[in-house]
Structure 1
Amino acid sequence: MTEENENETPQGAEGEAAEPVVPEAAEAPAAETPPEEDPHAVRIVELEGEVARMRDQLLRAMAETENLRKRAERQVEDAHRYAVAGFARDILSIGDNLERALDAIPDDRRGEHELLQILLEGVIAVQSDFLSVLSAHKIERLDPMGEPFDPNLHEAMYEVPDSDLPNGSVAHVMQAGYRLHDRLLRAARVGVAKSATVQAPSAVGEPAADAPATDAPDKEEPIL
C-alpha cells in the first residue's frame, strides 16, 4: 500500500511545469498636475492692462486739448494784430497819390510861386500825418533804395543797366511797400541794378582784335 501510494501522482498535475513567480513591478509615480491659475490674479492683470490703455488715451486727449488751446490763442492774437490789415491795404493808395503829387512838382520850381509853395507844404503835412497814423498802428513803410533785392519784400519790375550800385541791388523804387508787424501788406515795386554785360567774343572766322597778325605760309611749287 505504501509503494502504490508513493507512485501515485496527483491528478491534474501530470505534465505541467511549475510557473515561475515574477515579482510585481513598482508602480510609477503619478505626474504632477499644474496648479490652477488664480482667477483673482488673472483679473488683476486684465485690469492693469485696461488702466494702461485708459491712461494712454487720457494723455493723448490732454495733448490734443493743449494743442487746440494754443492754436486758439494764436488765432485770437493774430486777429488782434492783423485786424486792420484789410483796411490798411485799402488806404495805401492814398499815400501813393500824395507821393505822386509831390513828385509832380520839380524841386527847382517849388519856390517860384507862393501859392504853389503853400499847397506843397500842405501836401507834405498831410503825407507826414498819414505816415504817422500808419506807424501808430505798427504799419511800416518800405523804401529799399540801395538795399539788396529781397524777393520776399520786393517785386522786380525792370532792370537798370550800367548802374553805379552793386549788381542785384535796388536802383529805383517805383512804388513803396508796406508791412504790418511781420506780415507783408504790399511788396515794393523796384528796379534792380544790373552790371554791364561782358563784351561778346568775336564771330567765328574773324581774328580777334588783340591777336597779332600771322603771315600765311608760302605755297610749295609742284615738282615737274
Structure 2
Amino acid sequence: MTETDKTHSNPADEADLSMAAEDAELSLEDRLAAVEAERDEMRNNWMRSEAEMANLRTRTKREVEDARLFAVQKFAKDVVEVAENLKRGLTSLPPRAEGEAEITGKLRDGFEGIERSFVATLERNGVQMDDPTGKLFDPNLHQAMGEQETTEHPPGTIVQAWTQAWTLNGRLLRPAMVVVAKAPAEQA
C-alpha cells in the first residue's frame, strides 16, 4: 500500500465498518432488551410464587385453627345428648311438695348440682347451650317441630322449646326443636 492509500480510506470499507458497529449496537440493545424481559418474567413469577405461598400459609393456619377448635365435634355432640337426657330426668321428677321425703329433696338437689356443673364444664370447653324460648325462629339454629296458633306471641316467635340449641365455638352442634307461634285462623 502506498502512502496515499493509507491516508485515504475506501468509502465502501468505512460503510461496512459502520454497519458492523450498528449491528453490534443493535445486537447489544436486543440482548439487553431480552435480558430485561427475562428479568421481568422472573420477577413476575417470583411475585406470583410469593403470593401463592402467603395464601397457602393463611389457608393452612385457618385449617389448623379449625381442626383445633372442632376436633371434638363428634364427642361434643354425644355429650350434649347426655346433658339433654339429664335435663329431661330432672324435669320428670315430681315438683317439690310440703312433707316430701328428705331423701327425695336431697336427690333432686344433687341432680340439679350435677347438671349445673356438667353444663358449666361444657361451657368452659366451648360448648354453649341456648334456650330459644321467646326468640324469633331462626332456621339456622332451630328446627320447627310444630306450629301453635296464639294471639299472645307474634307469628314466628318460639313459644316452646322441646330441646335447646347447642353450639361448639359458634358452630351449630344440634338445633333446638321448637314450637313456633302462628296467627290464629280467622273464624268463619
TM-score after normalising by structure 1: 0.70
Q: 2:52 aligns with which of 51, 64, 72?
A: 64
SS of corresponding position for 1:107: coil
Q: 1:45 aligns with which of 12, 27, 33?
A: 33
Deviation track 1:156-201 (CA, whole Å, cap 9, x = no partner) reads: 111111251111011100111211111111111111011112245x
- Equivalent residue, structure 2, for 1:207: none
- Counterpart-to-counterpart distance in 1, 2:75 and 2:90: 24
**Equivalent residues of 2:159, 2:179 under 8 A apart:** yes
- Counterpart-to-counterpart distance in 2, 1:96 and 1:110: 28
Letter in 2 for 1:76: V
- For structure 2, list consecutive stretches of 5 or more residues without a partner in the other structure: 1-14
- For structure 1, list consecutive stretches of 5 or more residues without a partner in the other structure: 1-31, 201-224
Deviation of 1:110 after TM superposition, in Å, equals 8.1
2:128 pairs with 1:118: no
TM-score after normalising by structure 2: 0.82
**Equivalent residues of 1:102, 1:120 under 8 A apart:** yes
- Higher-helix-fraction structure: 2
- Counterpart-to-counterpart distance in 1, 2:75 and 2:92: 27
2:111 pairs with 1:130: no
- Equivalent residue, structure 2, for 1:97: 85
Q: 2:95 aligns with which of 91, 102, 107?
A: 107
Q: 1:60 to 1:45 in 2, by over 3 A?
A: same
Deviation of 1:67 after TM superposition, in Å, equals 0.3
- Equivalent residue, structure 1, for 2:164: 176
**How do residues 150-165 of structure 1 correspond to structure 2 at under 5 angstroms?**
150-165=138-153
- Mark the structure with the bigger radius of gyration: 1
Q: 1:81 to 1:59 in 2, by over 3 A?
A: same
Task: Among all aligned residue pairs of Structure 1 and Structure 2, give the percentage whose two residues are the same amino acid.
Answer: 36
What is the alpha-carbon root mean square deviation over aligned residues? 2.1
SS of corresponding position for 2:49: helix
Runs of 4+ in 1 over 3 A off after TM superposition: 34-37, 108-111
SS of corresponding position for 1:198: coil
Deviation of 1:109 after TM superposition, in Å, equals 4.2
Deviation of 1:113 after TM superposition, in Å, equals 2.4
- Counterpart-to-counterpart distance in 2, 1:49 and 1:135: 60
Deviation of 1:54 after TM superposition, in Å, equals 1.0
Larger RCO (alpha carbons 8 Å, 6+ apart): 2
- Equivalent residue, structure 1, for 2:5: none
- Equivalent residue, structure 1, for 2:181: 193
Q: 1:173 to 1:124 in 2, by over 3 A?
A: same
**Equivalent residues of 1:111, 1:117 under 8 A apart:** no
Letter in 1 for 2:55: N
Q: 1:107 to 1:39 in 2, by over 3 A?
A: same
Q: 2:64 aligns with which of 76, 86, 95?
A: 76
- Counterpart-to-counterpart distance in 1, 2:57 and 2:98: 59
SS of corresponding position for 1:158: strand
